[in-house]
Amino acid sequence: MSPLLPWPRCHRRGGRPFYTLGGRPVRLELEKGFLEISPDVITTISGYAATSCFGVIGMAPASVGDGIVRLLKKESLSRGVRVTTDKDNETVSIELHIIVRHGVNISTVSRSIMHEVRYVVENLTGIKVKSVDICVDSIMSD
């Protein structure tokens, strides 16, 4: 077994550091060894699951510095997702920055995304999802 590298500190949330892309992989113990899943994989899965939901036009960058929200291309969906692993390295929290279609019920769309992302990530990776947070950054018409 290889030793794990220290977690890089990326951003601060609520005064404590959290870890995102390029951070420590989530480690699952199996009967004949272990499996490490990179946060990049979880980020990509989450982005595709969110954009497959009704009412979602696309993803927005997770950090909007100039106040202008841009629609991300399909290839860069992971830029609109932040994945954080807990200290126990067994669960993840996911934050999604989305752009929704004008005229849809935002709370219904958000609930749908939360359920879909949780289901898809847990089903494909076996990792327990602690929370899915939705940030609606913009509303666009078709």
User: Which pLDDT tens digit goes with each residue over 83-136?
Assistant: 988 877 778 999 999 889 999 999 999 999 999 999 999 999 999 999 999 999
DSSP string, 62-115: S--SSS---PPPGGGGGGGEEEEE-TTSSEEEEEEEEEEETTS-HHHHHHHHHH
Q: Regarding predicted confidence, which is higher, 17 or 80? A: 80
29-51: per-residue pLDDT in tens? 888 888 888 888 999 899 999 99
Please report the sign of the dihedral spanned by the C-alpha atoms of residue 4, residue 40, residue 28, residue 135.
positive
Q: How much is the pTM? A: 0.75
